[in-house]
Amino acid sequence: MMHHPDNWPPRDRRAFARLAVIGAGAWGTALAVTAVRAARGVTLWAREPDVAEAIARTGVNGTFLPGVRLPGAIRATCVLADAARMADAILLVVPSQHFRAACRSLADVLPGGVPIVICAKGIERGTGLLLEAVAARELPGSPIAVLSGPTFAHEVAAGHPTAVTVASRDVGAEGEASLAARVAVTLASQAFRPYVSQDVTGVEVGGAVKNVLALASGMASGLGFGANTRAAVITRGLAEIAALCEALGGQRETVAGLAGVGDLTLTCSSEQSRNMRYGMGLAMGRTPADMFDGRPVVVEGVENAVSVTDLARRLGVDMPICEAVRAVMEGMPIGEAMAALLDRPLRAEPRGIALDLPRPPGAADALPARVQEQS
C-alpha cells in the first residue's frame, strides 16, 4: 500500500494523552519511561503480579530492566482492564509468540477504536502472519501502527539519543490516516526521535528478520571470526530482508531505514543484543542460563528462525543465512551450517541471483579450522 498524495503528509497531529503499555519486559518498561519523558500519562501492565508489585513498591523493574530507576508517574498494574480502561492508545510489547494471546485478552477489556501500537518484533509461528495481521484479526476496529528501529532498552531508558520508525497505513477511516504521526508526536522528546512511515510491512519485516540474522552474527563471532564475517552477514542479511519485504508487498527503500539497516547493524554488532549473545554463546558451547545469568529474557530469533523461513519457503524467497540459523536451531552443528553457506555457488549482488560459474574448491579442509572443528 504505497503513497496516497491526498492524505500524505499526515494532517492529524494530536498527541495521545494517556497510554497503556502492555508488557513490562525491558522494552515495555523503557517505552513507559519514554512516554513519561514526553509528558504522557502511563500505565504499565505486567502479566506477573510480582513484577507489577515490585515496580510499584521499589520503583525498579529488577526482573527485566534492572538498574533503572523508573519515574514515579508510571503506574504499574497486573490487571489488564485497569490498564486498558483509561488509555487513549495502547503500546503492545509482548513477545511475538504470545502476541495473539495478548490481543485476545485485550479484546475483552478494550473499548472499540482505541489505537494499537505494535512494539514487538516477529512473525507468528504456524500462521506466518506479521503481527499487524494478528492484531487486525483479534482486535477488529482498532487502528494499528508499528514502532520499530535500533533501540536497546537500557540505552533508551538512560536517555541516549535514539531514532525509531513508526508506520501506519494511510488509508481508511479518518484518524487512522495519521496514526503514525500521532504516535510520533506522542512519544517524541529530545532524546527520542520517531520518523513516520507508511510502510507497515517493510518496518515489520526488518524487525522480525534482524533477530535471526543477529543469531548468525553471534555464531560467527562465537566461532572467533571478526569484522569481515560480520559485515558479510549484515550485508547479505540485508539482501534477505529486502527480498522478503518485497515479496510481502513492502518497499525496498524501507530496508535502508531505521527498522532495516539501522536495527540490523545495531543488533548484529553489539553484545547488548540478546540474539547476538545467544548465537555467540551457542558457538562457544554455553547454555542459555549461563548467557543471561539465569534471567528470563526473550530471544526472538529462536522462534523467528522457524517462522521467517517457513514464510520465505512458502513465498519462494531464498534466505540462506536465516535457513542456516534454523538448521542450527534444529540441531545442525554450527560449523556444518556455516560450511554449507560458504559452499553455495557464486552469485550476483545485490539480489543473489545464481550465476553459472565454477564452484569454489569444495574440500572440507579448505575451510578455516574453527569451522572444521565445529562440524
Ligand X SMILES: NC(=O)C1=CN([C@@H]2O[C@H](COP(=O)(O)OP(=O)(O)OC[C@H]3O[C@@H](n4cnc5c(N)ncnc54)[C@H](OP(=O)(O)O)[C@@H]3O)[C@@H](O)[C@H]2O)C=CC1
Ligand Y SMILES: O=C(CO)COP(=O)(O)O
121 is catalytic: no
In what helix (H) or strand (E) does residue 192 lie, and over which residues does it extend? strand 192-197
Enumerate residues 215-234 that contact ligand X by CB under 6 A: none
Q: Which of 327, 345, 344 has the alpha carbon at shortest distance from 336?
A: 327
The item of ligand Y, ligand X, none sharing an interface with residue 275, based on CB under 5 to 8 Å by kind, is: ligand Y
Query: Which of ligand X, ligand Y, none has residue 197 at its interface (CB below 5 to 8 Å by kind)?
Result: none
Could you tell me the CA-to-CA distances from 131 to 112, 138, 208 in Å, in that order?
A: 19, 10, 10
Give 300: exposed, middle or buried? Use CB within 10 Å, 0-12, 13-18, 19+: buried
Strand bridging mode 162-167 / 89-92 = unpaired
Contact 329, 303 (CB under 8 A): no
The nearer residue to ligand X, 302 or 339, going by C-beta atoms, is 302
Asked if the bond preceding 350 is cis, omega within 30° of 0, the reply is yes
Binding positions for ligand Y, rule: CB under 6 A: 121, 150-152, 211, 214, 263, 266-267, 273-275, 300
Partner whose binding site includes residue 266, from ligand Y, ligand X, none (CB under 5 to 8 Å by kind)? ligand Y
- Residue with Cβ nearer ligand Y (92 or 177): 92
Give me the amino acid identity at 92.
L
Which cell numbers in the block locate residue 165?
Answer: 520508525
Return the one option of ligand X, ligand Y, none that residue 150 interacts with (CB less than 5 to 8 A, by type): ligand Y
d(CA 51, CA 54): 5
Residues 118-137 binding ligand X (CB under 6 A) are 119-122
- What is the DSSP secondary-structure string of 298-314? --HHHHHHHHHHHHHHH
263 binds, among ligand Y, ligand X, none (CB under 5 to 8 A by kind): ligand Y
Q: How far apart are CA 166 and CA 117, in angstroms?
A: 9
**Catalytic one among 169, 210, 236, 326?**
210
Site for ligand X in 41-80 (CB under 6 A): 46-48, 51, 64
**Nearer Cβ to ligand Y, position 10 or 194?**
194
Which is closer to ligand X, CB of 50 or CB of 253?
50
Residue type, 11: R
Which residue, 110 or 299, has its beta carbon nearer to ligand Y? Answer: 299
Contact between 100 and ligand X by CB under 6 A: the answer reads no
Stretch that binds ligand X, among 80-88, 149-157, 243-251, 348-356 (CB under 6 A): 149-157
Residues recognised as catalytic: 210
* Residues in contact with ligand X by the rule CB under 6 A: 23-28, 46-48, 51, 64, 93-96, 98, 102, 119-122, 151-153, 297-298, 300
